Amino acid sequence: MHGMSLALVAPDAGPWPLHSAAASRAAEAAALAATPPHALMQRAGLAVARLALAIAPHAQRVCVLAGPGNNGGDGLVAALHLHRAGRQVQVLRIGGAARMPADAADALQCARAAGVPIADGTAAAARADLVIDALLGLGTQRAPEGEFAQAIALAQAGGAPVLAVDLPSGLHPDTGQPLGDAVVHAQATLSLLTLKPGLFTGRGRDLAGAVWFDALGVDAPGATAELAGAPALAARHHAQHKGSFGDVAVVGGAPGMAGALRLAARAALAAGAGRVFASALDDSAPLLDPAWPELMLRRQWWTAAPAVLSATTVACGCGGGDAVRAVLPPLLTHAARLVLDADALNALAADSALQTLLVARAARGRPTVLTPHPLEAARLLGSTTATVQGDRLASAQALAARFGAVVVLKGSGSVVAVPGALPSVNPTGNALLATAGTGDVLAGWIAGLWAQGTSARTAAVEGTWWHGHEADRALAAGRRHALRAAELVDAMRAG
């Protein structure tokens, strides 16, 4: 088994095109029409077998759970190759054979002819060193029930690692959410022909494990999203000066919340902005950050002349409390580039007049970046957190379209949506970020990148990638407890 075209979908690679279930099916139909009979399934099954041998080289007993569709056919072809490679293979067929597609029926016949042990149902299951989940793939949009649910339970029961074919069975390919209670938790997933968005957002990252990809020699058209890749670091030239890298003003820090303001301002400076002003919504706040004396603290900066606001990238809302509502009108009207986070988003959700100003900004060509977490997004959409999380890409795109803004929907697999463009899914980050203040850091970091002359979308995509990347580096270094926001700023600055 040589000539592998498998690739690990690593966060520092890419960008990668992502295809929804509908786009994947269309690509599969086109590929089947352009290739000889059974050829595509033969490639897919061989790729599964190759990856199985690569990730579990010492596994002698392999159990293949094969559904009735083409996903099961891929598993049967893999079983044949593993059988020939000297592994003890057991195929458990789930769902019957009456409706098997032609390619899958051919794979079943070939496996039987080669002497691969094949049984119907899970009753004959034996102990395995590796389980291959070839149950459903793209083949269902319903929660697994009956013997499919039993097979999924079997896949998890023995403690053997699970390799999922195309998708962990029971995971929605577009949303990354389980279709029901029964869902495979895989250690690795081999996505075939196309990469599916659900592998990288919602619960998908936890359930898919390490994601591998094999395009099967097909260049699939019709991508519906993008998986972000590592940003390229821009060189700084000798003749540049602080004015070359833009000004950022951070507005927030209502009484009792000065920390959020300072974290965002520090992040903007660490991201490379030439100058950073911090203006607290608490007039008693000190005008010095002793740990970061480079920050310029100002009283009521938002009352500056429109010409000043129009020359500045502004991040507003970090620790803003209720006081932030009063300062939003001049910022929405005049700020050149505006990042709205936290309490600024809550004020926006509660005030239709502010929403009108935001939409008017877009009409005037003044860009805005919104950085909601799921609850904030639900308030802006007049929806629920469960609905937002139920389809994160659709929710982010709906927000972007409603307000004419770039939207960063935070969470596992943060989604960056732009009106009229493909959404981007972020591959970095982990639960070390699940602590107070890390969102303020992200808002400030995006503002700091944006001030340097990049587009709103690029600043949002790259800022989100770097933010998660530092958490990934901390996890790889052995960190297991939460990453404090101040530590995150220092790590991003050092990185």
Instruction: Find out whether 130 and 63 touch, Cβ atoms under 8 Å.
Output: yes
CA distance 364 to 333: 10
Using DSSP bridges, classify how beta strands 225-227 and 16-18 pair: parallel, antiparallel or unpaired: antiparallel
Residue where the block lists tokens 């001049």:
330
> If you average pLDDT over every residue of the chain, what do you get?
95
Q: Nearest 5°: CA angle at 194, between 190 and 199?
A: 60
Q: Does 98 have pLDDT greater than 80?
A: no
Per-residue pLDDT for 1 more than 70? no
Report phi then psi at 409, rounded to 5.
Answer: -85, 105
Q: Is the pLDDT of residue 410 over 80?
A: yes
- In this predicted structure, what is the pLDDT of residue 5? 83
| Percent of the chain at pLDDT exceeding 90 | 88
Domains and CATH numbers, the chain: 7-23+35-225 (3.40.50.10260), 242-494 (3.40.1190.20)
Spatial neighbors of 322 by CB under 8 A, at least 6 apart, are 254, 343, 347
Q: What is the pLDDT of residues 255-304, one digit of tens each?
A: 999 999 999 999 999 999 999 999 999 999 988 888 889 999 999 999 99
Rounded CA gap, 78 and 142, in Å? 26
**What is the structure's pLDDT at 243?**
75
Q: What is the pLDDT of residues 105-151, one digit of tens each?
A: 999 999 999 999 999 998 888 899 999 999 999 978 899 999 999 99
3-state helix, strand, coil in the chain (%, to 5): 40, 15, 40
- In this structure, what DSSP letter does residue 109 have? H
Mean pLDDT confidence for 344-370: 97
Can you say whether residue 170 is alpha, beta or left, with left for phi > 0 and alpha for psi between -120 and 50 degrees?
left
pLDDT value of position 242: 85
Alpha helices, DSSP H, located in 90-179: 102-113, 146-157
Q: Which residues of 193-221 are buried (b: 16+ CB within 10 A; e: fewer)?
A: bbbbbbbbbbbbbebbbebbbbbbebebe
Radius of gyration for the alpha carbons in the chain, expressed in angstroms and rounded: 25
